Each structure stands twice: as C-alpha cells, then as structure tokens.
Amino acid sequence: MPHLPVTSEKYSEKKSLPRPVLKEVLRRNAAVLAKTLRKRFSSPLKGLCIRMICFYQKYLSHGTCLYTPTCSEYTKRCINNLGVLPGILCGMWRILRCNPLSKGGIDPAPEACFKKKWLI
C-alpha cells in the first residue's frame, strides 16, 4: 500500500478557487442546466404547437394569405427552426404584417443552424 503524504492543512484552511475560475464554473453549470431544461420541456411543447397549427390548417384555414408560405406554415417553420417562444413571436409578427394593405410576396422563415428539426 503506497504511503500518502500527510498534510497539516485542515479542510477549512485549504484555498478555494480564484474568483474568475469560480465564476466560469458557475456559468458553465448554469448553461448546462438551461440546456437540459430546454431539451426536456421544449420538445413536447414544440410538438403540441406544431400539431395545433396542423389542425388549424386542415380544418379552419381557407389558405388565403398574401404571402408565400402562408402565415400558419411560416409560424410552423419558425417554431421548428427557432424554438417555441421565438417561433411564436416570429409568427405573431408575420400575422401583424399580413393585412389587406400589404404587398405580400415570398417571405421565407428564418433558419437556425445546427438544430434538430422535426418533420413537418
């Protein structure tokens, strides 16, 4: 059995991490926690929102939108690409812009790189 060096330092006398290092460790742990919570609660909510929009498109919508893709399809793509809250906010902004006085036209949904996408 190897001999371990005996130190006279007590636990309370040991030096703690320097403040910048401690802040970095806390920041990383907070980022990991936020990412875990986002993954755990975002996917079911994202699926629910997309299913609700599909129901609206199938049974309630008449498909009369001045823009391409339609406002509901745009919102669905934004939720898929950006996440639930930013996607809903982008969709609301699009619905506010879609009125009889607007020109309409092609307005693609914003893309987010390196994200898991649901099949639409």
Q: Which two tokens stand for residue 100?
A: 């009889």
Q: Give the pLDDT score at 56.
A: 94
Q: Which of 110, 69, 118 is nearest to 89 (CA)?
A: 110
| 120 pLDDT higher than 70 | no
Average pLDDT of the residues in 15-30: 66
Q: How many Å apart are CA 31 and CA 37, to the nearest integer?
A: 10
* In the chain, where the domains are located: 44-107
Q: What average pLDDT is seen over the chain?
A: 78
Q: Give the pLDDT score at 87.
A: 92
| Stronger pLDDT, 1 or 68, i.e. the higher one | 68
CA 114 to each of CA 9, 39, 109, 117: distance values in angstroms, whole numbers, following the listed order: 49, 14, 16, 9
CA angle 86, 59, 100 (to 5 degrees): 65
| 104 pLDDT higher than 90 | no
| 99 pLDDT higher than 70 | yes
- The pair phi, psi for residue 67, each rounded to 5°, is -100, 160
If phi over 0 gives left and psi between -120 and 50 gives alpha, with beta otherwise, what is residue 19?
Answer: alpha
pTM: 0.61
Q: What residues contact 80, with CB distance under 8 A and at least 6 apart?
A: 46, 50, 87, 117, 118, 120
Q: What residues contact 42, with CB distance under 8 A and at least 6 apart?
A: 83, 84
Average pLDDT of the residues in 56-73: 89
pLDDT band at 65 (very low <50, low <70, confident <90, very high): confident
